[in-house]
Structure 1
């Protein structure tokens, strides 16, 4: 299978005491949701779905991460304080990183690294940090749940034979 995916390029984290990288989450399946707080599809579908995934799957098997990937309306949604208030109001408790700006490209760095087309984008990684799903737009609960369960059901790599 492929090599581990590139790490996220985050300039600020919320809902976590320290920065989180993909390598920190090895051994877990990772659901990462790229969103913007002013994206209607993100607010009405994707973020509630991520919350449901967090409530459905055990934390020792699935990590849920938000990536605030702002590529438009920077002035309205660009500050960590505005995002913190949004996360509080919508009761989003999982860790959320603010995708690092790239002043030369206009698109945030993680968004570029994963060739995202917009928000919401669902990224699903296996226990070894390999990207298994990169889906722009809404993915219904049944499909996402099946994809997560399928990866969770895969054999856990044996640490004695790895690497």
Structure 2
């Protein structure tokens, strides 16, 4: 595991191609659209064992654990190898089969023909999985290549939510979150 503690700087923009998965009408999702929320983004590939076995299930757990008004969860499919096998159609089938219900953008290929996608290069990602934590002001607060333990990640997200002025989840938040995830909560 390699962790980079970046200076507080604006997170680079995402450059994606094609329609997004799990957004209305496949509309792209920009960082500016998420301002005011903590963003947990994951650079992944569907043929990456660490992504499939650890990072994507963790991202799904983060989505269930935090209220979407405070924490946005986003996947960035950053393909730097096996391009022929990683088509948008294959990604859509993969997301369906693995029940990935958070927005997923496809990182744009390098217009100069390089093998590193545009967003992956903008963040200087070393590979996949790469976790990105972006605060409510749009600043990159953590970038991590490899696995992060759930408890450490949850604590860091909670601190960023609190820093942004987020209060602990109240009863209406709990009920809304439960309903969104097919559970019943005591009002």
Give 1:3 deviation, angstroms.
3.9
Distance 1:155 1:39, change over 3 A: closer
CA distance in 1, matches of 2:153, 2:73: 13
SS at structure 2 position matched to 1:81: helix
4+ aligned runs moved over 6 Å, structure 1:
none
The one-character-per-residue Cα deviations of 1:89-114 (angstroms, maximum 9, x if unpaired) are 00000000000000432100000000
Distance 1:109 1:156, change over 3 A: same
Residue equivalent to 1:7 = 13
Question: How does 1:30-109 map onto structure 2 within 5 Å?
Answer: 30-77=39-86, 79-102=87-110, 103-109=112-118
Give 1:69 deviation, angstroms.
0.3
CA distance in 2, matches of 1:54, 1:20: 16
Give 1:156 deviation, angstroms.
3.5
Residue equivalent to 1:125 = 134
The one-character-per-residue Cα deviations of 1:50-76 (angstroms, maximum 9, x if unpaired) are 000000000000000000000001111
Indicate conservation of the 8 Å contact 2:136/2:164, yes or no. Answer: no
RMSD: 1.4
Equivalenced residue count is 156
User: Among 3, 18, 23, which residue is 1:16 paired with?
Assistant: 23
Structure with larger Rg? 2
SS at structure 1 position matched to 2:155: helix
Give 1:155 deviation, angstroms.
4.0
TM-score by length of 2: 0.80
Which structure 2 segments of 5+ residues have no match?
1-6, 167-187
Indicate conservation of the 8 Å contact 2:40/2:131, yes or no. Answer: yes
Indicate conservation of the 8 Å contact 2:17/2:108, yes or no. Answer: yes
